[in-house]
Amino acid sequence: MKNPEHRRELRHRGRLPIYMKGGEGITRDFNVSGIYFETDRAFSTGQSIAFSIVLKYADPDHPVRMNCRGEIVRVEASGARIGVAASIDSLSFEKLKDSKDK
């Protein structure tokens, strides 16, 4: 039986807060080309998305915000929340002055 897995890169599991316009979520897994997260916000397949993840320990002196843009590739019910899979088409990093910054 063939594995239906189509990912080119290994996924990393982790629960990190994700911030987007109009809502927040928690990651389940991610790699450089995609992410899966759970949220209360509704999305549609094919919809563009912009989101950020604060990496508190990437730099010992300042946290780093990873800003991403992509497209929703899958939406599914995940209990009381909505599971969302998105591609990551571009990303950039910025240092934050304060760990409380989103």
pLDDT (tens digit per residue) in 32-87? 899 999 999 999 999 999 999 998 887 778 899 999 999 999 999 877 899 999 99
> Distance between CA 37 and CA 1 in Å, rounded?
28
Domain segments of the chain: what residues? 12-95
In this prediction, residue 2 carries a pLDDT of: 43
Q: What is the mean pLDDT of residues 15-30?
A: 94
Given a contact cutoff of 8 angstroms between Cβ atoms, the answer to whether 94 and 67 are in contact is yes
Is 40 in contact with 81 (CB distance < 8 Å)?
A: yes
| pLDDT score at 59 | 78
Which pLDDT band, with edges at 50, 70 and 90, does 102 fall under?
A: low
Domain 12-95: give its CATH superfamily: predicted glycosyltransferase like domains (2.40.10.220)
